Amino acid sequence: MIEVETGEQAISIHFLSDTFEVRSSLQALMDDMEGRDYLPEERGTVELVLAEVLNNVAEHAYEERGDGKIELDIDYISDGISIQLQDFGKPMPNGQTPLGMPANLDVEVGDLPEGGFGWFLIGELAKDLMYERKGEANHLTFRMTLGES
């Protein structure tokens, strides 16, 4: 069951790695952001980045089990948002986030890669991305700049 706590400058969402709960948690965040002074394009960028991150947690850290605990804490800061994510799944390979290299798109349509764009997108759109394993927990933090002219 999803737990949501909102405040004037923050939102905290705790949920399981189940596909429905991940989607519902993203919707709870989008609903909260809609009541704030962010453009639809900015909310869409946040949703895209977090969908990539959360789907990676569900698919890889929890191996699609659907019962893994995820804690998402977001602080609204003067130039955007600060995101802290914690899960208790498998650690990242080699103890770090993947490099996320862009794929070669100069190939035949049938030869285009099916996936692998997620960490590239995250790396391009997030700032100060940091990962560390503390005990049995994965901690991922980053921020996103919003509200720029």
Residue 92 is part of which domain span? 3-145
52-94 tens-digit pLDDT: 999 999 999 999 888 999 999 999 999 999 999 999 999 998 8
**Number of domains within the chain:** 1
The CB density around residue 106, as the number of other CB atoms within 10 Å, is 6
Total-model pTM: 0.85
Residue 48 has pLDDT above 90, yes or no: yes
Place of tokens 């997030």: 126
CATH code of the domain in which 36 resides? 3.30.565.10
